Amino acid sequence: MGSLARLPVFLSLDGKRAVLAGGSPAAAWKAELLSASGARVEVYATDICEELQQLAADPPRGAIVINRRAWSVEDLTNAAVAIGAFEDDEGAAAFASAARAAGVPVNVIDRPAFCDFSFGAIVNRSPLVIGISTDGAAPVFAQAIRAKLEAMLPKGFADWAAAAARWRGALKLAGLSFAARRRFWQIFTAHAVSDPDRAPVQADFDSFVAEVKGLGTAVDSGSVTLVGAGPGDPELLTLRAVRALQSADVILFDDLVSREVMDFARREARKMLVGKTGFGPSCTQEDINSLMVSLAKQGKRVVRLKSGDPLIFGRAAEEIAACEAANIAVDVVPGITSVQGAASRLGIALTDRKKARRLQYITGHAKQGGVPADLDWKSLADPSTTTAVFMPTRTLAALAEKAIAEGLDRHTPALAISRATRPDQAVVTAPIAELAERLAQAGLPGPVLVMIGNTVTPLTQSSNRSVSALGA
């Protein structure tokens, strides 16, 4: 075996004491990690951030106890590990020295010189846990590797990690702000992921620094990225979406975004639910726009995470307009739509040169909740069209009745699919004239999508739960 920069070990912390000095957001992430491992986390700090207070109220596993005072040497007695979050080397050195004198392994966040061990990026499939370390050289890079583990791990990543270690000191001397240095590592990571088999050279470092400096003051400004989370299966995320999630400071996400997708988010990012559930309590669009703009004006990199594709019935136009009106940089990362995801799982061709020459997406309800009055009923009745209906549950019967009256064949194949691409996906199939009744009988949980057209005949060997027109 070749030399190792760090020995990867997995500590058993269940029921053991972990001392955490500091109350910052960075400390909160370490408290969450220690608690999830079963440790009793004892926090010592006079200033406790909101994230840490919320975490202590509802810890993932082991208790998190907050002591609103500075740490003391006696606090380290019988501790399994000691973690410190300090703004200066003097405080970090004192804490590390006291921990070592007490025989306690110590980690000082983002200060490798005072660390006996380090935390890596984590892929959590407990009891299978994978930890990734770059010896503290490039945390953003480690997060990118975590996202690539589903595929083959390129050997060339080792060269990029080594370059990160070499360049970290030089980067601190380059005169860049904290935000600019972070942007450097994002550029570094993008190149490493896209070109892993090419060894980085000094010219790359110079190029990345020049690119960051070329951004000027914009690098310290906040931004908003609208990201499509896809229909639910995390494997349908795009690489660009993963990179956006891993570089975010704040993530504003909807109810329909799956927890598995959220696992790809940057661990330190603040996650805020701004759910818009149909016919139930929701954040208003105006509130979401205001929050998004306010956070970006604070210099935050904001990700607005939406189920499916943000450009399709995701109110993207309103959010883009709000950002542009506030002079906030805004970008869009498209996602796999629920229609595409459902069709792929059911083996449905959305278009067919013999049966369906056109594909259309429509919404099942108007702003006030009823069937939209301005639908093109002639196109709905066209037998050569495949129609996908979003948000159809309460209006499906009325919509089908009107479409049939306008010429849609009442025997046209149709289906309703719930939670498409997820493990609990369920399908109801029936002629369009009967689908609303069958859907009501099945009582499928949301979100539900309806598909209508002559190509809409799912494969019978689908392993997902299905309910036929006979109610089987």
Give the residue numbers annotated as catalytic, written as ranges: 254, 276
The two three-digit tokens of residue 412, written as one number: 């046209």
Rg (Cα) of the chain, in Å, rounded?
26
226-243 burial, b at 16+ Cβ within 10 Å, e below that, comes to: bbbbbbbbbebbeebbbb
- The Cα 229–Cα 353 span in angstroms is 30
- DSSP summary character for residue 447: P
Strands (E), 215-325: 223-228, 250-253, 270-273, 301-306
Report d(CA 16, CA 31) in Å as an integer: 13
Strand (E) or helix (H) holding 415 = strand 413-418
> Number of helices (H) and strands (E), helices first, in the chain?
15, 18
The 8-class DSSP code of residue 471 comes to -
User: Which H/E stretch holds residue 213?
Assistant: helix 202-214
The runs of H, that is alpha helices, within 359-418 are 377-381, 396-405
Residue 325, classed as helix, strand or coil, is: helix
Question: Token pair of 392, please?
Answer: 């159809």
Look up residue 315 and give its DSSP letter: -
DSSP letter string, 86-139? -SSHHHHHHHHHHHHHTT--EEETT-GGG-SS---EEEEETTEEEEE--TTS-H
Contacts of 35 by beta carbon, 8 Å cutoff, 6+ apart: 41, 55, 59, 60, 61, 62, 63, 64
Which residues make beta-bridge pairs with 136?
none
Residue 169, number of CB atoms within 10 A of its CB = 9
Bridge partners (DSSP) of residue 336 are: none
Separation CA 272–CA 351 (nearest Å): 38
Question: Which residues touch 447 (CB under 8 Å, ≥6 apart)?
Answer: 256, 307, 338, 391, 418, 419
Q: How far is CA 77 from the centre of its chain?
A: 39
Q: Is residue 44 a contact partner of residue 174, using CB atoms and an 8 Å limit?
A: no
